[in-house]
Structure 1
């Protein structure tokens, strides 16, 4: 009544959403979680109660609901087996059960861990857990979204979880159990919840629609169940929204599939069936026309790509499981869709192979991922659909490889084509079937500065995949000099003589190696096989007893080398003497290397040595002992009294560094004296940088 004594109109009760109104109150009412409910009921019957539970799984599948039912069953005042409570289910009539169901029980504390996630809140919880429950048997803490608790807070709870009081039970519900520390998980019993099957969601929706007096056909309920995506709460929320937007006839709401699709912003799967039919018939224009109609109607490209991915996934599963439009047996477990949609996906799957559907699914998944960060989503969605048509035109790599391998296996070998004569420096390979009369020892390979160039030119002109056929040497009794040209039997055509290679092409070793004559092979026979004619005796004789070919040296090369101007330079002589003395000292190799790279100059009675060392490293490398050896070597060289100045790299260079002549007797000096090296220097103005001595001891 108001202040004037008049009665106020009765206020209508607040509307309660379907997800809360039809929340299960017993273990038997929970859909799709029998493996959890049966285990908990057996534990209650056997009094095997754990002090910690972790309930993990998909959203909206009953984790918190089962935690509340378990709390009511633990604190129910009626014992199991009594008249009011024949089994482990809560009686739902005692004071404890009704308070827990209403959410105002004193000893059942439900905490939102996403908000109370810090160490201070967990410390308060730990301190309060020490006290006994005020009325019920157990003090129960339900931590929802437990993965949000910080690591420090979990560490503060570890000791209580390991050795809790007898009256305390912890229940943690989470969608991300991997974020809970392993030390906490090992102290609790972990129950992993399953996604609710489509059949179970469909049964619940059908029962709720009848109870709410809502007329809904099977296609509409199937769409709602599919939209739930394994979550009962999501399906009930979408159903609540659909009932609110549905037309009312005679006081009853009417749900149909078209209205639910418009509400969710989706399109019928018949559109994707049409697209795949156009892809199968290689009609790109029709694919683009359908995509244009969908996008012009206001559909989101990301939502369309998501639906296309789901439809292609169902097609792949239908193809793998062998489902046909006429028979969809066994498809309920694999395809969580209605029977009509199962037949539709079976029709689409019959158009393609399993590999093609897999490539389609991969392409659309990539398109769906790209739409999340692309500006022009429409263009990328259209491009993704066009790729499906292009993939249909392509042959799989496996098929191409199998065709190539089968074609090579069945084809007849082609006649050998004439190939260029190998480089004369290449040793002839041994024959396939050697005999005591025609075997010979190949020449021992020697190091050549032009070896890399020879190896490169050796394989030029040879076809890929073919190896040159080794010639068959004919045995001859005696040896004779090689006459030019090489006489060959008449039936075998002799190719044109190869022009004489230049010095850069012919390898000239430091130690002359035995030359080997390569015999050009004859082309393969065409009409009838022709017996190879015997090769002239002088050739085989040359192969049997190889003789070193003399090297012609010009008069300039034969003349003894004269001292270079650098060797007459006093600074250079002092540098060589100092480096040799430091090297002979044994422990001063670092100083010898530093002075080798240094620049020496004598000016006005002062010997200036410009090193490449810093001021600090100069004192370390050229220590007092090395400096003593250096001064003694300078005096021994007979240069009189010179003032010695060692300059670090920071000072201004005294002169441009000159190339130092090699020490006498070294490998570099012997290489410089070789006529081949001198010839190369005169032709190419070459510079000797690295010398590798590969001479054998014998």
Structure 2
């Protein structure tokens, strides 16, 4: 008798022999016992998990000559002794027709099947059609079968096995009972392999059987096929084939997972050189880069699952990990070296690397680069840790990173003298004794305006934000290091923090200093005042106080943006006209409205958003910024937005001095024509030669 492969030799003959499909076998046995037989079944699922096998067992159970409950057949299982069971098992039953739908997929074959289905079975109870790979049938053929499935004869049963149920039309699926098969679990495959190895007289250790079960990837048929190949290649000792994990791995061309564990240990130690050395050893041994990447992805997946499931080396059982106990412990050891986020990033990198190997020329290079990325990924700081290191602000405002302090700051001048006698102290609110009045040299101000650069010359530019008091006698400049202050000035605790008095109800009331945190460093001038009122509302500048009669002894610095926008706008327009390529943008700027605030120049023009993107390009913005830089505005942001709709009639546009429009309007002939016809000049063409 010719040799029969293990997948056919040990094919299940009863429902109880099928591994891993209890939900299907239990339902079918109950239907047989209750007599609830459907006229159409669809069996779908992974390859090699028993779809066609269960269809044959169901055909035997339907046409078995022995009645359920009889001594010969006490259960719904087929008896496997009558003529019908023996013929179906041998594959030569007349009333059980098994069709390869991948070959007989056309409408002509289905028409023949439909015509033959009208005749009653020759001997048995049912005429059964088993359509294997049913998703290969064409739509036209399915439509030809549709009416027969909807109203079939009482002696017809259709069974369709497929790996792609979504390709079967919904009209067919709705007329059949659909059973979705599961992938066979590792433990079920391992148990079957143990029994077959013992029955075949093969000496196989547990590691070898586990490797065969993992190679099956949920398919019993694949595992048996690999086992059949391994037995043929194994050495024979005392008449028994000896299966070992090393020989099976060599036969399959796979890499032991111990290598991947070592690679990830080197990754944890940031040892990129050893990682490349290990990868080179694998490649020099003849392993394919794609195979290495595929196994590495599978191993990283197991590590991620072990980390998420919080497994340990002692308690490592989980349905999510369909691998042997040794491999589970190995995955747990690797998962303890990294965080869940790191393992997830490793898996994403290796998935991209595996995809790149499919269409790249230098596969070794891409594999090595993918492994090096794993080493460098550990240097990334998670976003949560980065946000936790930022300084926290009060309320719900977003924390901001303060800019670095300036390097060189001039020393503070001599302290200001005390105010006259019986004058309340600036920060204490109590009178102090008189002291001789002397004139102190003014202190230099430090400018960190949003329009100023970090160069040395920016320190001489005016600042935009100054807190001042009338009737000054001296000033205190903000310095990076604390300096000795007079008794009537509160010391600065730290850069960017100013202590100011809280409102009080009396001159002699005790005032507790309250810190004010500045989000942006600004120049501060704290000055003495003879007529000081401790109330917070009275701390105003001379420009804001209508009762202030005596101007400050030191002028208040202002920003270049505060001097008005007309000059800045004119400079930008002239710069654009000078290029002779951006006249449209220049003409729009002439009629625009400018607003400068918070380091941003907002320009409102009478254009829509698409036109703004067309006219105000990146080169136009660069020209505008250069013109503003010459006027003292550095580091500003240009924002061009559509202006609000204004229904008021606009005044005629006045042409720019020296332009073609201006020369045309100054011409006597044009002026006479305007006066004679009461006309307006809309367009002027310059026909002069350059």
Same fold (TM over 0.5): yes
- Which residue number corresponds to residue 163 of structure 1? 151
- Among 201, 205, 210, the alignment partner of 2:198 is 210
Matched, 1:377 2:363: yes
What secondary structure does 1:172 align onto?
strand
What secondary structure does 2:386 align onto?
helix
- Among 358, 369, 389, the alignment partner of 2:344 is 358
Matched, 1:494 2:563: no
- Which residue number corresponds to residue 383 of structure 2? 397
By how many angstroms is 1:555 displaced?
Answer: 13
Taking a change above 3 Å as real, the CA distance of residues 239 and 417 of structure 1, as seen in their structure-2 partners, is: farther
- Among 48, 68, 75, the alignment partner of 2:56 is 68
By how many angstroms is 1:503 displaced?
Answer: 7.1
Taking a change above 3 Å as real, the CA distance of residues 477 and 417 of structure 1, as seen in their structure-2 partners, is: closer
What secondary structure does 1:253 align onto?
strand
For residues 220-369 of structure 1, the aligned pairs below 5 Å read 220-328=208-316, 330-331=317-318, 333-369=319-355
By how many angstroms is 1:400 displaced?
Answer: 2.4
Taking a change above 3 Å as real, the CA distance of residues 394 and 252 of structure 1, as seen in their structure-2 partners, is: same
By how many angstroms is 1:493 displaced?
Answer: 3.9
Taking a change above 3 Å as real, the CA distance of residues 291 and 477 of structure 1, as seen in their structure-2 partners, is: closer
For residues 108-123 of structure 1, the aligned pairs below 5 Å read 108-123=96-111
Q: Under a length normalisation based on structure 1, what TM-score does the superposition of the two structures give?
A: 0.63
- Which residue number corresponds to residue 38 of structure 1? 26
Matched, 1:504 2:570: yes
Please say if residues 570 and 590 of structure 2, whose CA atoms lie closer than 8 Å, have aligned partners that are also in contact: no
Please say if residues 391 and 401 of structure 2, whose CA atoms lie closer than 8 Å, have aligned partners that are also in contact: no
- Which residue number corresponds to residue 143 of structure 1? 131
Taking a change above 3 Å as real, the CA distance of residues 553 and 73 of structure 1, as seen in their structure-2 partners, is: closer
By how many angstroms is 1:554 displaced?
Answer: 13
By how many angstroms is 1:95 displaced?
Answer: 0.4
Taking a change above 3 Å as real, the CA distance of residues 403 and 91 of structure 1, as seen in their structure-2 partners, is: same
By how many angstroms is 1:509 displaced?
Answer: 12
By how many angstroms is 1:93 displaced?
Answer: 0.4
Q: For the residues of structure 2 that align with 1:509 and 1:343, how far apart are their CA atoms?
A: 72
Q: For the residues of structure 2 that align with 1:336 and 1:267, how far apart are their CA atoms?
A: 18
By how many angstroms is 1:368 displaced?
Answer: 1.0
Q: For the residues of structure 2 that align with 1:40 and 1:513, how far apart are their CA atoms?
A: 81
What secondary structure does 2:570 align onto?
coil
- Which residue number corresponds to residue 162 of structure 2? 174
Please say if residues 118 and 153 of structure 2, whose CA atoms lie closer than 8 Å, have aligned partners that are also in contact: yes
Please say if residues 488 and 494 of structure 1, whose CA atoms lie closer than 8 Å, have aligned partners that are also in contact: no
Q: For the residues of structure 2 that align with 1:515 and 1:250, how far apart are their CA atoms?
A: 98
- Which residue number corresponds to residue 541 of structure 1? none
Taking a change above 3 Å as real, the CA distance of residues 195 and 499 of structure 1, as seen in their structure-2 partners, is: closer
What secondary structure does 1:324 align onto?
coil
By how many angstroms is 1:381 displaced?
Answer: 1.1
Q: For the residues of structure 1 that align with 2:93 and 2:655, how far apart are their CA atoms?
A: 112
Q: For the residues of structure 2 that align with 1:342 and 1:92, how far apart are their CA atoms?
A: 42
For residues 533-572 of structure 1, the aligned pairs below 5 Å read 565=669
Taking a change above 3 Å as real, the CA distance of residues 359 and 517 of structure 1, as seen in their structure-2 partners, is: closer
Q: For the residues of structure 2 that align with 1:221 and 1:514, how far apart are their CA atoms?
A: 81
Larger of the two Rg values belongs to structure: 1
- Which residue number corresponds to residue 418 of structure 1? 447
Q: For the residues of structure 2 that align with 1:130 and 1:516, how far apart are their CA atoms?
A: 88
By how many angstroms is 1:477 displaced?
Answer: 7.8
Cα deviations by residue, 1:389-425 (Å, 9 ceiling, x for unpaired): 11122223343234336598599999996356999xx
Q: For the residues of structure 2 that align with 1:85 and 1:114, how far apart are their CA atoms?
A: 36
Q: For the residues of structure 2 that align with 1:394 and 1:382, how far apart are their CA atoms?
A: 20
Taking a change above 3 Å as real, the CA distance of residues 36 and 475 of structure 1, as seen in their structure-2 partners, is: same
What secondary structure does 1:121 align onto?
helix
- Among 166, 171, 187, the alignment partner of 1:199 is 187
Please say if residues 64 and 79 of structure 2, whose CA atoms lie closer than 8 Å, have aligned partners that are also in contact: yes
Report the aligned-residue RMSD.
4.4
By how many angstroms is 1:384 displaced?
Answer: 1.1
Cα deviations by residue, 1:214-245 (Å, 9 ceiling, x for unpaired): 00000000000000000000000000000000
Cα deviations by residue, 1:444-500 (Å, 9 ceiling, x for unpaired): xxxxxxxxxxxxxxxxxxx9989999996525389xxxxxxx995125643598989
What secondary structure does 1:337 align onto?
coil
By how many angstroms is 1:307 displaced?
Answer: 0.8
Q: For the residues of structure 1 that align with 2:402 and 2:122, how far apart are their CA atoms?
A: 95
Q: For the residues of structure 1 that align with 2:260 and 2:59, how far apart are their CA atoms?
A: 48
What secondary structure does 1:73 align onto?
helix
Range with greater deviation from structure 2 (211-220 or 559-568) = 559-568
- Which residue number corresponds to residue 544 of structure 2? 474
Range with greater deviation from structure 2 (128-137 or 465-474) = 465-474
Q: For the residues of structure 2 that align with 1:153 and 1:129, how far apart are their CA atoms?
A: 15
Q: For the residues of structure 2 that align with 1:384 and 1:494, how far apart are their CA atoms?
A: 58
What secondary structure does 1:304 align onto?
helix
Q: For the residues of structure 2 that align with 1:465 and 1:244, how far apart are their CA atoms?
A: 78
Taking a change above 3 Å as real, the CA distance of residues 504 and 179 of structure 1, as seen in their structure-2 partners, is: same
Please say if residues 215 and 223 of structure 2, whose CA atoms lie closer than 8 Å, have aligned partners that are also in contact: yes
Q: For the residues of structure 1 that align with 2:124 and 2:589, how far apart are their CA atoms?
A: 102
For residues 524-535 of structure 1, the aligned pairs below 5 Å read none
How many residues are paired up? 493
Matched, 1:49 2:16: no
Q: For the residues of structure 2 that align with 1:73 and 1:139, how far apart are their CA atoms?
A: 13
For residues 96-135 of structure 1, the aligned pairs below 5 Å read 96-135=84-123
Range with greater deviation from structure 2 (318-327 or 195-204) = 318-327
By how many angstroms is 1:155 displaced?
Answer: 0.8
Q: For the residues of structure 1 that align with 2:3 and 2:656, how far apart are their CA atoms?
A: 114
What secondary structure does 2:198 align onto?
helix
Taking a change above 3 Å as real, the CA distance of residues 164 and 302 of structure 1, as seen in their structure-2 partners, is: same
Cα deviations by residue, 1:600-657 (Å, 9 ceiling, x for unpaired): xxxxxxxxxxxxxxxxxxxxxxxxxxxxxxxxxxxxxxxxxxxxxxxxxxxxxxxxxx
By how many angstroms is 1:326 displaced?
Answer: 3.1
Please say if residues 390 and 400 of structure 2, whose CA atoms lie closer than 8 Å, have aligned partners that are also in contact: no
Please say if residues 52 and 188 of structure 1, whose CA atoms lie closer than 8 Å, have aligned partners that are also in contact: yes
Q: For the residues of structure 2 that align with 1:38 and 1:259, how far apart are their CA atoms?
A: 39
- Among 83, 87, 92, the alignment partner of 2:71 is 83
Please say if residues 231 and 241 of structure 2, whose CA atoms lie closer than 8 Å, have aligned partners that are also in contact: yes
Q: For the residues of structure 2 that align with 1:127 and 1:381, how far apart are their CA atoms?
A: 58
Taking a change above 3 Å as real, the CA distance of residues 406 and 181 of structure 1, as seen in their structure-2 partners, is: farther
Q: For the residues of structure 2 that align with 1:351 and 1:108, how far apart are their CA atoms?
A: 58
Q: Under a length normalisation based on structure 2, what TM-score does the superposition of the two structures give?
A: 0.64
Unpaired runs of 5+ in structure 2?
Answer: 406-444, 453-463, 468-517, 525-538, 574-586, 598-653
